[in-house]
Chains A and B, each alone.
Chain A
Amino acid sequence: MTSKVTVDDVERVAELAHLELAPEETQSMLRDLNAILDYVAELNELDTSGVAPLAQASELLSEPGDTASRSRPDEVRPSLDRAQVMPQAPETDKTFFKVPKVIER
């Protein structure tokens, strides 16, 4: 958890996140990331073996038979109308979003 981030790491993460960085931004990102990761390395002081991860605080409210905290069933429901949504697109033919060419041929 204390391994230092390298320029290669920054470039790899930039690609994963679809962010591009100018050379000077890469350097400041490297510095900031290392400072933040040094700081979060404090968590290594804690032994968390056997501790279940907590992803949602509402898990803590659930008691047997309790429906108050249960998440909504994952079902398909009607959503916003296309006619309302498409005008917000940078480029559209009113049915589809248009994007630059994906595959060269």
Chain B
Amino acid sequence: MASDAKPAETFVEKPKTLAELRAEIASGRTKAADLAASYYERIEKKNPRLNVYLSLTKERALKQAERIDALAARGDPLPPLAGIPVGIKDVLVMQGAPATAGSKILEGYRPPYDATAVARLEAAGAVLLGKLNCDEFAMGSSNENSAYGPVRNPVDTERVPGGSSGGSAAAVAANMAVATLGSDTGGSIRQPASFCGVVGVLPTYGRVSRYGLIAFASSLDRVGPFAANVRDAATMLGVIAGHDPKDATSLQAPQEDYAAASDKPVKGLRIGVPGEYFAEGLDPEVRAAIEQGIDALRAAGCTVKPVGLPHTKYAVPTYYLVATAEASANLARFDGVRYGYRSPRSATLSDMYSHSRDEGFGAEVKRRIFLGTYALSAGYYDAYYLKAQQVRRLLAEEFLRAFAEVDAIVTPTSPFPAFKIGEKTGDPVAMYLADIYTVTASLAGICGVTVPCGATRAGLPVGMQVLARHLGESTAFRVARAVERSLS
């Protein structure tokens, strides 16, 4: 079965780099409007099988493309993403465009404003193609929880693209966008990027504004980019990062040129390898690929040394308590009053709430609201939520201790490559364990980049996660770039 499961048609296609496309557009050899049209053609061709886009924003995209073409025709200086076709995960709002968060409960909703990250991309010249499929409210590790059907992995369409930002990762892998935005609460950018063989960025908590991101777990939610290569991902982060008064937790940190930082050699950097991420449960082929990546860093002049992160095994239970507790509060706003779905069976106010939520939410979202409500309820708060927040501090502090010794930490992004659609849907705990290497950085608030690092014998991509301390994105990009260079 495995041998004939491989599709004859390949969906994988590498986009041109930002630098190439910008040069073409600046010189007039390529019109931004034609480029956008060619992306829409490719989307039309591939989307019926891959289910990557939930909706398209053609009118807005073409208007922006024409604006860029006019700038180029006048010979005016072009902004950094001039004419670049970009896709947006459907948990980030765009004014007037559908915003479903992969849920039936937001069907028909047209937000009256743009998310800050979206507005910044457009101000930098990006052409916004449309909204990308994802797990409902970003809750999932396989994109199988979308109310609008699963996304298929362009590398092997019988497999999941990862989640929850499955559409964002698959779009880049299949060249249905040059770059995309996703969100990462427990691994939702990094894991799908690794499953689809692209670069994904987890910025430091507070580095990118959450304004206009439909909230899942507010102390963990981050907005970050996907791209086909490290330098382009760094450029994307440079555009969306920076303080925003509309997000109460946005940092005042100075801007950095991440793309330029990624060009720097890694000679002399100290790289930590935590044994806890190479223990039981790690697929041997993934291990071998990551070890080759580590060898490449050594060959590039890095000092590689072991670091201890002994609380790692407690990260998944800690994460699922913190995240579900926050989700139960955040998702209380979906009640059929102000926007989205209202059940027609609504004789009383109380019925309206419960019927609308029952009919609007999918099974995994209900499960998490339940767990979170239970963990926060009278008599259980100390045992579950408070306990989890205490362990969260232990996890964060051990990262801080490790980063006193090393500049970056490298691990596999996921213990296994992309799994088959349907393989893990019956067992929530097994699905949660897919996040075992990513939830730690989420809880600690540190940053990271996942970069393609070889493949299994069956051709499934393997991703290396490069973690750095708070506000250490430049270092993470530099290390990721060295791994990328060693493979090309």
Contact = CB atoms under 8 A, between A and B. Distances in A.
A84 to B, nearest CB: 4
A30 B320 CA distance: 17
B67 interface: no
B317 A43 contact: yes
A69 B112 contact: no
> For the side of the interface on A, what is the size category?
35 or more
Interface stretch (B43-51, B344-352, B480-488): B344-352
B470 A53 contact: no
A20 B354 contact: yes
Interface stretch (B19-27, B72-80, B126-134, B334-342): B334-342
A58 B445 contact: yes
A46 B429 contact: no
B226 interface: no
Contacts of B137: none
B351 A53 contact: no
A5 interface: yes
A14 to B, nearest CB: 8
A101 B393 contact: no
A46 B317 CA distance: 12
A52 interface: yes
A13 B374 contact: yes
Interface in A37-64: 37, 39-46, 48, 51-58, 60-61
A55 B317 contact: no
A43 to B, nearest CB: 5
Interface of B: 109-113, 205-206, 219, 245, 247-253, 311, 313-314, 316-318, 320-321, 328, 332, 335-342, 346-355, 357-358, 361, 366-367, 369-371, 373-374, 377, 383-384, 386-394, 396, 400, 428-429, 432, 443-446, 470-471
Given A19-B366, A70-B252, A90-B340, 11 more contacts: A1-B387, A10-B370, A36-B428, A41-B317, A46-B391, A46-B394, A58-B205, A61-B471, A80-B112, A89-B337, A100-B347
